[in-house]
Amino acid sequence: MKTLDTIHLKDLRFFSHVGVFPEEKADGQYFNLDIDLFFAEPLKAVDSDLLEESVSYADVYDLVEALVSGARYDLIERLAGAVADLLLDHFPCSAVRVTVKKPEAPIDGEFAYMGVTIMRERKPVFEGKTVYLGLGGNLGEREATLRQALIDLDRHVKVKVEAVSSLYETKAWGVTDQPDFLNAVAKISTSLDPFALLQVLQTIEKRHGRVREVRWGARTLDLDILEIEETTIAAPTLEVPHPRIKERAFVMIPLAEVKGEPVGSDPEVRFYKKDWYCPSQERKVE
């Protein structure tokens, strides 16, 4: 993340009742906090000299004081996370770094403090197009591979996984002498152009052991672009919409589900599992 300007608040001292032990919650103790607010764009107050075009340190202090003073968490990690979430909710910073120091930690020894530092970034707002992706695989740990592929995709700074269908199990299509497939459809938003998205998908396939030797053959992972909002493509490496969507019930059924449309049925497509994907909490990467 590129940052230009930073506001610092150092050695804020608040009394709170955060701690694992009953006496810590009962008696309380002082905690010291360091806070950094990062801004991806230059602060306008540098030129205007107007408080409304910066962040009021007093407002930051008052909000953090109210949270810390009333906290009853076990761990300072939880306290630091709560402070970070509060600041991102209330101020136009792109990221925050919070350090919580515990000078009176109940440890038999000499030390200045025990502490933790966390950094949290504001989730990017995507203004790109909606894309529907088909996912499938029939080798190895099928469900785990599909889940991790979505996590890998969602970690990309220009991609957000918006919704995922249930999992469905089907017999292989094309070359039938192979294990059954698990299939799903994901709705994503992305500012990547279609060919860049295709490259990202193929990189994720390779990461999970996809080998392209036999057309319609067994595979650990298959990621297909099915539809892109207001987009039609007819190129040697990419056709959008996918030319065989309507031939494949294992695509049409989860696609209808993730679009919120009536879901049909097919004897060859067996419901397998719902609510199988959990979004990643990892930092976005290029």
Radius of gyration over alpha carbons of the chain, in Å? 25
Is position 246 annotated as part of the catalytic site?
A: no
Count CB neighbours of 261 within 10 A. Answer: 10
Catalytic residue among 102, 129, 160, 187: 102
Range 186-197 burial, b when 16+ CB lie within 10 A, else e: bbbbbebebeeb
Three-class DSSP labels, the chain? CCCCEEEEEEEEEEEECCCCCHHHHHHCEEEEEEEEEEECCCCCHHHHCCHHHCCCHHHHHHHHHHHHHHCCCCCHHHHHHHHHHHHHHHCCCCEEEEEEEECCCCCCCCCCCEEEEEEEECCCCCCCEEEEEEEEECCCCHHHHHHHHHHHHHCECCEEEEEECCEEEECCCCCCCCCCEEEEEEEEEECCCHHHHHHHHHHHHHHCCCCCCCCCCCCCCEEEEEEECCCCEEECCEEECCCCHHHCHHHHHHHHHHHCCCCCCCCCEEEEECCCCCCCCCCCEC
Name the nearest CA neighbour of 73 among 8, 28, 151, 20.
20
Cite the active site residues: 102
